[in-house]
Chain A
Amino acid sequence: MRTLFLALTASTALIGAAGAATVYPLDRATILAGSPFDFKVEFEGSVKAEDVKIAVNGADYKAALGGEVEFIASEKGKDDAALGSAVLLRGVKIGKAGAYTIEVSAGDEKKSVTWDVYATPEAPKAKNVIFLLGDGLSVAHRTAARLMSKGMTEGKANGRLAMDDLDHMAFIGTSATNAINTDSANTMSAYMTGHKTAINALGVYADRTPPTQDDPKVETIAEALRRTTKKSIGIVVTSEVEDATPAAVVAHTRKRDDKADIVGMLYDVKPDVVLGGGSAYFLSKDVPGSKRKDDKDYIKLFQEAGYKLATDKTELEKATGSDKLLGLFHTGNMDYALDRLQLKKGSVDKFPNQPGLTEMTKIALDNLSKNPEGFFLMVEASCIDKASHPLDMERATLIVVTGDHTHGVSIVGTIDDTLGKQGREKFLVGANAGFPTYTDEDKDGFPDKIDPSRRLAMFVSNYPDHYETFNPKLDGPFEPAVKNEAGEYVANDKYKDVPGAIFVEGNLPKDESTGTHTVDDVVLQAAGPGAEAFKGYMEESDVYKVLADAFALGVKQ
């Protein structure tokens, strides 16, 4: 019986493999009615143009897809390797909602996919949407934030985070189209387009050809807003503005590290407010500090397009009320609040007057809320909760707080320096753990010190070789492992001689430098009109439909 079953599996798999063309958008794609997307079929072998048959719901495809496909006899891979034939039709729009089954065949290759094209209500439910994205926001981060900023007495939290009172929630599946694992590009792209994609991709389905910007495109939320509404668009981040998360609002590329080109994509869409770091990719290559390889001066181009420029906190405050605002406060990623406010480490000495996320968010809201048509604001932050405090929002605003993916972090107990012990001997669990001793005397929402005498013991589930010191790393960001001559990541010797440090042998393969993203669901929370649609388990791409419904993006407003 077992043998028979194996044999069956094998033969089924063979049949499957023999004729499997790939159709983009993929099977079970959810597509906003009226939104443009590229249609592509990749055949495994070389086929003849006249043999290619495409039917949509049993009829010739041209009526449904609104055009005729271009036939590519042979796509080329690396070193000119033949990849097979393909057909391509860019800018397809399907206006009518419903199930669309696309049947493709050529010779012995066959593929059938079904898309769910969805409409939205005629009238918007929400005037504004604020989308707060915590990069890597996992459950332990929320618990740690509550314990560190509010404290706990006798097992009950002494206060609540702003996000604790958002009244709708859902478990979000973050996996990519090519792996259960995921990264910040494909995850945010799923939120911002409604289509899942491959790791490192933004606003495209990842096709097989090497160029990074020819892949089949899907519409981003910023493009949908420009197409159907007169709303303002804002992006506020502490990372580089061309980094994966903010880029997903506007960009189309297979590779998130096309950062110089992503600046151009930002310029094409022209969000009304763009605040963050990453000026190096805006500067012409002849300026020291530039990371461009061309002569384009995007600072000048944005200014010529009517943007007010702010390069530090003082200029940002002065720019309040301008219609279009570009704030770049660092050549690279902005410094963490911990470094800016307490440690003065990182690059705070070089960029001493960086605004905080809360200030940036407030000023963005001041600018965006002047538009009577409403706005969409994306805020990315590690300190989300602080950013959500100033969001004293009118009822017409849908607020979504979510992470893009999780990390394998857990709070396991406490670490107590007062015991006179070192290393693992001061790590307390069970009844011994007690409660941590963080204080927030200045009520700024951040603990006054992140290394009080008894602090949270938070550990990760996956790691390279490293030294565990049982102490926060106050002399700059922690680099657990460094590469050796053999290209393997080995424990960074810098932490070897910290008293009590223990060597922890990695459980990741040796080519991984730091803990990786984990596959666990993200918890999304939301409040405001439309938020009731968030419930149970949802794919990241389903979240877009809720945003599209709230704004009625299926209908020209």
Chain B
Amino acid sequence: MARTTVPAVSRRTFLAGLAVLSCVGAVRAGDTLTFDELYGKVSVLGLAFSDKAKSLNGKTVSMRGFMAPPLKAEAAFFVLSEIPMALCPFCSSDADWPSNIVVVYIDEKTTFLPPSKLIEVTGTLEVGSWTDPETGFVSLLRLVHSSFEAV
């Protein structure tokens, strides 16, 4: 399948380039992160990001997962989940987000792939609290300036 590239990908490339320049040799452009590697500690009183996730903050990272059914047919962000989700948690009153999700921001609105399809997302990993002004969605970790393709 054709790569669904965000037209403004130049910014991502630019950032990735910066990252490479700033710590030559230390960072590969294609670091990968799995859902299992996101958290170092999982407990009732809260989760803690893993050392690997923290060390990749600001760097270009690829993650594999499934696109959760989006709220709208076109949007500038979506939720990447570890398993295919039958439900759109925003749409259904009794559905809830699973804990293993990552919010993915893309630079321009795009249409989406079926939620049963495994995809690989590449973007800049951001660790730290951020509230989306449009949706009020709070994320503590996300991929920004991302692109994705079906695997």
Contact = CB atoms under 8 A, between A and B. Distances in A.
Interface of A: 183-185, 200, 240, 244, 255-257, 259, 279-280, 283, 285-293, 299, 311-312, 328-332, 347, 350-351, 476, 479-485, 487, 489, 492-494, 513-514
B94 A256 contact: yes
Contact of A483 (B115, B131, B141): B115
B46 A288 contact: yes
Contacts of A489: 86
Interface in B79-110: 83-88, 92-94, 96-99
A3 B42 CA distance: 70
B135 to A, nearest CB: 11
B65 interface: no
A364 B47 CA distance: 27
Interface of B: 39, 42-49, 69, 73, 83-88, 92-94, 96-99, 111-116, 129, 131, 136, 138, 140-141
A330 B94 contact: no
A331 B69 contact: no
B51 to A, nearest CB: 14
A243 to B, nearest CB: 8
A286 B86 contact: no
A332 B84 contact: no
Contacts of A351: 42, 44
29 contacts: A183-B94, A184-B94, A255-B93, A256-B93, A285-B138, A286-B129, A289-B99, A290-B138, A291-B96, A291-B97, A293-B131, A293-B138, A299-B45, A311-B45, A312-B44, A328-B44, A331-B44, A331-B99, A332-B99, A350-B42, A479-B84, A481-B86, A482-B84, A483-B69, A483-B88, A485-B73, A494-B84, A494-B116, A513-B87
Contact of A492 (B48, B86, B98): B86
Given A257-B94, A288-B47, A328-B44, A487 B141 contact: no
Contacts of B84: 479, 482, 492, 494
A292 B85 CA distance: 22
B99 A487 contact: no
Contacts of B87: 483, 513
Contacts of B49: 288
Nearest to B88: A483
B45 A482 contact: no
Given A311-B44, A483-B86, A332 B140 contact: no
Given A244-B94, A482-B115, 6 more contacts: A256-B93, A279-B44, A287-B47, A292-B138, A332-B98, A485-B114
A240 B93 CA distance: 15
A330 B114 contact: no
- DSSP majority for the A interface? loop
A288 B86 contact: no
Contacts of A280: 99
B116 A332 contact: no
B116 A482 contact: yes
A198 to B, nearest CB: 12
B98 A283 contact: no
Contacts, number: 103
A159 to B, nearest CB: 35
A485 B136 contact: no
A283 B99 CA distance: 14
B47 A289 contact: yes
**Which 5 residue pairs of A and B lie closest in terms of their CB atoms, listed nearest first?**
A289-B47, A287-B46, A483-B69, A311-B44, A288-B47
B98 A279 contact: no
A283 B140 CA distance: 13
Given A257-B94, A483-B86, A493 B46 contact: no
Contacts of B42: 289, 331, 350-351
Contacts of A485: 73, 111-114
A332 B96 contact: yes
Contacts of B86: 479-483, 489, 492, 513-514
Contacts of A244: 94
Q: Which of B98, B99, B136 neighbours the largest number of chain A CB atoms within 10 Å of its CB? A: B99
A200 B93 CA distance: 8
A350 B98 CA distance: 13
B72 to A, nearest CB: 10
A310 to B, nearest CB: 9
Contacts of A330: 44
B48 to A, nearest CB: 6
A280 to B, nearest CB: 7
Contacts of A483: 69, 85-88, 114-115
Given A255-B93, A332-B96, A483-B88, A279 B138 contact: no
A287 B139 CA distance: 10
Contacts of A292: 138
B33 to A, nearest CB: 15
A286 B140 contact: yes
Nearest to B42: A350
A289 B113 contact: no
A332 B101 CA distance: 13
Nearest to B66: A482
A351 to B, nearest CB: 7
Contacts of B48: 288
Nearest to A281: B96
A330 B43 CA distance: 8
A256 B95 CA distance: 10
A328 to B, nearest CB: 5
Contact of B114 (A287, A328, A350, A484): A484
Contacts of B73: 485, 487
A345 B131 CA distance: 33
B74 to A, nearest CB: 11
A312 B46 CA distance: 14
Contacts of B112: 485
A387 B73 CA distance: 45
A480 B114 CA distance: 15
A421 to B, nearest CB: 29
